[in-house]
């Protein structure tokens, strides 16, 4: 690479970092003494769980104090049972999401992928503020204990979700079969099924064991992979706080989940999400098959085969712009179908981190460069067309700022 090209790339990276920070500042809000960031002011004018975790990860590269404030606002509405809701309505907006039958005024009644320990640890690694760990640790302890107990009532060893929205991937085809939907259906049909599920769950006051037994129970691969990674980090945090008992407990729980995932979910070299009490496999190839790399659950040989057979295969995920959220070979694949095909920067980030874990640096660099190219081409959009790179969905969408974290890996 010539020195001129290197200089140009450094300038591009500097500009993208600046634009990312400006977007986060523009989407920042304050209410009742708390500070939080909107994913998109027009499309998503609320605080969301894993969005705030992403925001804190990126903010840690600019201001650890702002990153901490994001986390503290997120846990401020934690339920007595430990659940951290996936939405906080700091301001009411007259929209469809406001009218969801959660049975609560200020929050939703479900959660999202448990990324909070990862975000908190990244902040701590930047500024070594042990007082912040001490302050937020009780919230994390109760949240992860809630997942380990309430979301695995039969002690099968892997946790379940009670609504597709808890995966963060609302209409992913991974949930078609459990919801009784065919591979091809309208987004309106999908939305109505999920709203109906909220109404059913409300009848039992969102009691997770009851809801899972009677209405919807999916043990999702990304959710559990993210949980494994975060439990290991939570173990580190507990150790840093000299709580050896908690540290050992969370480490042992992460190992248990990892083992059960291998025994219940792994088949033909792929981890499949499962549902119902008999762990029926949902054989739909989405980006989820790569998510166990984030927690280093695949063996090196398994990961190598996965990359060759699927990630780089032009008939699967190796399209013009990567990574589509659903394999091109699937009947449910729709390049403009929200979580049924478009590229999302968040899922690219998870796969990028997973590739780094296994030393697949060339492949990781490719994902990073494609993510940068999408932002440069179409701006900070919610999702992108995997063939053309066209931006789709919400504008001024913050997930694209995760490229800042990719720069520093």
What span, in angstroms and rounded, lies between the C-alpha atoms of 101 and 205? 11
Q: How far is CA 406 from the centre of its chain?
A: 16
Residue 15 scores a pLDDT above 70: yes
pLDDT given at position 103: 85
Contact (Cβ atoms closer than 8 angstroms) between residue 323 and residue 351: yes
The pLDDT of residue 27? 99
273 pLDDT band (50/70/90 cuts)?
very high
Q: Please, are residues 197 and 212 in contact by the beta-carbon 8 Å criterion?
A: no
pLDDT bucket at 104, cuts 50 / 70 / 90: confident
**Residue 6: what pLDDT?**
55
The tens digit of pLDDT for each residue in 147-192 reads: 999 999 888 899 999 999 999 999 999 999 999 999 999 999 999 9
- pLDDT, tens digit, 9 for 90 and up, residues 116-148: 999 999 999 999 999 999 999 999 999 999 999
Helix (H, G, I), strand (E, B) or coil at 60: coil
Residue-wise pLDDT for 379-397, tens only, equals 999 999 999 999 999 999 9
- According to the model, what pLDDT value does residue 96 have? 56
329 pLDDT above the threshold of 90? yes
Average pLDDT, the chain: 95
Q: What is the per-residue pLDDT for 2?
A: 62
Distance CA 46, CA 107 (A): 10
**Strand 274-275 vs strand 280-281: parallel, antiparallel, or unpaired?**
antiparallel
pLDDT tens-digit series, residues 283-311: 999 999 999 999 999 999 999 999 999 99
Three-state DSSP string of 364-382: HHHHHHHHHHHHHHHCCCC
Please state, in angstroms and rounded to a whole number, the distance separating the CA atoms of residues 237 and 21.
Answer: 27
Query: How long a stretch of residues is the chain?
Result: 409
The answer to whether the beta carbons of residues 39 and 48 sit under 8 Å apart is: yes
Supply the pLDDT for residue 276. Answer: 87
Domain boundaries, the chain: 32-150, 168-284, 298-409
pLDDT in tens, 192-210: 999 999 999 999 889 998 8
Confidence of residue 43 (pLDDT cuts 50, 70, 90): very high
% the chain with pLDDT above 90: 88
Rg (the chain; Cα; Å): 20
Looking up tokens 């204990």 gives 145
pLDDT tens for each residue of 51-69: 999 999 999 999 999 999 9
The predicted pLDDT at position 198 comes to: 94
């Amino acid at each position: 690479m010539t020195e001129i090209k290197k200089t140009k790339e450094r300038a591009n990276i500097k500009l993208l970092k600046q634009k990312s920070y400006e977007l986060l500042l523009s989407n920042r809000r304050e209410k009742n003494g708390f500070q939080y960031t909107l994913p998109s002011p027009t499309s998503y004018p609320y605080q969301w769980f894993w969005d705030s975790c992403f925001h804190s990860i990126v903010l840690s590269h600019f201001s650890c104090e702002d990153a901490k404030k994001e986390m503290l606002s997120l846990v401020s509405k934690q339920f007595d049972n430990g659940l951290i809701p996936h939405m906080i309505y700091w301001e009411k907006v007259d929209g469809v999401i406001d009218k969801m039958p959660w049975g609560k005024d200020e929050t939703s009644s479900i959660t999202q992928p448990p990324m909070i320990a990862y975000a908190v640890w990244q902040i701590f690694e930047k500024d070594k503020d042990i007082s912040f760990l001490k302050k937020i640790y009780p919230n994390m302890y109760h949240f992860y204990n809630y997942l380990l107990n309430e979301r695995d009532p039969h002690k099968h060893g892997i946790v379940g979700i009670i609504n597709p929205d808890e995966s963060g991937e609302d209409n992913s085809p991974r949930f078609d079969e459990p919801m009784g939907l065919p591979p091809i259906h309208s987004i309106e049909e999908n939305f109505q099924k999920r709203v109906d599920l909220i109404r059913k769950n409300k009848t039992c006051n969102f009691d997770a064991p009851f809801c899972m037994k009677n209405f919807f129970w999916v043990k999702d691969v990304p959710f559990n992979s993210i949980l494994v990674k975060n439990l290991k980090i939570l173990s580190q945090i507990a150790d840093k706080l000299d709580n050896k008992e908690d540290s050992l407990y969370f480490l042992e729980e992460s190992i248990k989940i990892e083992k059960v995932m291998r025994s219940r979910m792994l088949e033909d070299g792929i981890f499949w999400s499962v549902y119902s009490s008999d762990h029926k496999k949902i054989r739909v190839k989405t980006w989820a098959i790569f998510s166990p790399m984030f927690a280093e659950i695949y063996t090196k040989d398994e990961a190598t085969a996965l990359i060759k057979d699927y990630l780089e295969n032009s008939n699967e995920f190796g399209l013009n712009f990567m990574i589509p959220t659903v394999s091109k070979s699937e009947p449910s694949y729709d390049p403009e179908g929200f979580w049924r095909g478009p590229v999302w920067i968040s899922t690219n980030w998870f796969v990028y981190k997973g590739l780094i874990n296994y030393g697949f640096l060339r492949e990781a660099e490719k994902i990073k460069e494609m993510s940068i190219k999408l932002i440069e081409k179409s701006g900070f959009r919610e999702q992108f067309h995997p063939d053309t790179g066209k931006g789709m969905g919400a504008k001024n969408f913050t997930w694209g700022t995760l490229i800042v974290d990719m720069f520093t890996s």
